[in-house]
Chains A and B, each alone.
Chain A
Amino acid sequence: MEEEKKNAFKEIEPNVTAPENLKKEISSEIDSIRNTSAIIELFVGNFFNAISAALKKDPY
């Protein structure tokens, strides 16, 4: 079997793991981004609906 070539670049990669709290933090931030965009969508949608309804309204 061929011996694996030595590569100092592979050796210098830090042997650590990502902090455990990070996953939770990112997940909850994704949730809040999703919720914020849903609220904005809802608001913008209703805002335009209200404007178009007001424009359609017969003044007489």
Chain B
Amino acid sequence: MKKFSDEQLVRLFVDTQKNIYFEHIYDRYSDKVYRKCLSFVKDEAKAEDFAHDIFLKLVLNIGSYKETSKFSTWLFSITYNYCIDQLRIAKKKAEVELDENFDFVDDFEDAQVAEMEAKKLNKALEHISVEDRSILMMKYQDDLSIKEISASLDISESAVKMRLLRAKEKLKKIYLENLLFWAIITTKFLSIFFRHDHH
């Protein structure tokens, strides 16, 4: 069974309706989907419910899967869209459509991601909307291309670029604010400590 690709397993499941094929797909992706849900809800019981619903959604919609995209991309799009729908945090903002020649310079990945500390990044991600968080995770955690994200979220590629840009700006702002906050606290603490030391 290991030699079968995801797409072959899907075809076998659709044709035969045998659970064994679904179970193999499940074994390949359950941890990934569960982790994704957990990083959204931070609660194991809720994440389990989310993963449960996502896999049922997958089964109910498996007939509509066209092999135009990778199966994993399709499954992640169900996962992200489900989490976004459930959390219902951000209000839809009007998208400013950019012209097709909009140049997306991705300097974020190389320089800034490398500089970010995982713990502080995690904290900063909690303070941005679920839509912003998911688009950043799609790009930088799941390594999806702009085209794949656009297909997953059903928005144009230029809208994806714009949303990514805005999400990164928000994340950077919160991340830097956090850094500044801790720098001030540390300075304050040190100044009090040294003042005491002098007396």
Q: Are B34 and A16 in contact (CB under 8 A)?
A: yes
Specify which of A8, A14, A17, A34 is in contact with B39 (CB 8 Å cutoff): A14
B11 at the interface (CB under 8 A from A): no
B186 at the interface (CB under 8 A from A): no
Chain B, interface SS category: helix
Given A26-B56, A27-B22, A30-B22, verify A18-B30 contact (CB < 8 Å).
Answer: yes
Specify which of B60, B114, B136 is in contact with A5 (CB 8 Å cutoff): B114
Q: Residue among A7, A27, A31 with the most chain B CB within 10 A?
A: A7
- On chain A, the number of residues with a Cβ less than 8 Å from chain B's Cβ atoms is 25
Q: Which B residues have a C-beta under 8 Å from some C-beta of A?
A: 17, 19, 22-23, 26-27, 30-31, 33-35, 38-39, 44, 48, 51-52, 55-56, 59-60, 109-110, 113-114, 116-118, 121-122, 125, 136-137, 140-141
